[in-house]
A and B are shown apart, each in its own frame.
Chain A
Amino acid sequence: GQQLNQSPQSMFIQEGEDVSMNCTSSSIFNTWLWYKQDPGEGPVLLIALYKAGELTSNGRLTAQFGITRKDSFLNISASIPSDVGIYFCAGRGTGNQFYFGTGTSLTVIP
């Protein structure tokens, strides 16, 4: 199946720091999504991207749809303790199925 490489696998940061994570694909995608999952919960949609080059913000979160259509980036500014969780990217290619990345586990140290 499709491979989405999400990096880094885990991050330990101090409260207040900015965070960057990315997702890359071996093929072109036409939609990118970013989800956050808290322990024991289902993923919650953070940002959806539908056009190459698109830059979208949701509060302190900003995501970009890469120009090559093979990658996407998520940035979190001024992290706070409630940002802790696992962040997943998901991409949809021409085959109309979404593939999820393996997740980035974020720990925020107060």
Chain B
Amino acid sequence: NAGVTQTPKFRVLKTGQSMTLLCAQDMNHEYMYWYRQDPGMGLRLIHYSVGEGTTAKGEVPDGYNVSRLKKQNFLLGLESAAPSQTSVYFCASSDRGRGLLAEAFFGQGTRLTVV
């Protein structure tokens, strides 16, 4: 049972380049999330999804887009990367039982550097 799998684990981008981060979960969870983690700031919610075909903005959505075409996958896109997007990105998923984010499972993270 893989849980939440993020691809890739590391990436270096040049300013202005685009990329997509992939998150896959095999727990049949309804809810999925993308967070970024910066030193001294905890985790901040970028976007989330409460089901296939639905997405919503979180705390820091600017510069990112997401899609949830399949229940098990949640994609995070950067259309034009900026140095301020250098961060560690975490995907998470949870069952709907206890509400949004309750008892979420996290992936191992993607370390992104924008130069």
Residue ranges of A at the interface with B (Cβ–Cβ < 8 Å):
1, 4, 6, 31, 33, 35, 40-45, 48, 50, 88, 90, 92, 96-103
Contacts and interface: CB of A to CB of B under 8 A. Distances in A.
A96 B107 contact: no
A88 B59 contact: no
A96 B58 CA distance: 10
Given A31-B99, A44-B106, A48-B98, A100 B44 contact: yes
A42 B90 contact: yes
Contacts of B104: 45
Interface of B: 4, 35, 40-45, 58-59, 90, 92, 98-109
A31 B97 CA distance: 13
Contact of B109 (A41, A50, A98): A41
Residue among B4, B42, B98, B109 having the largest count of chain A Cβ atoms under 10 Å: B42
A43 B103 contact: no
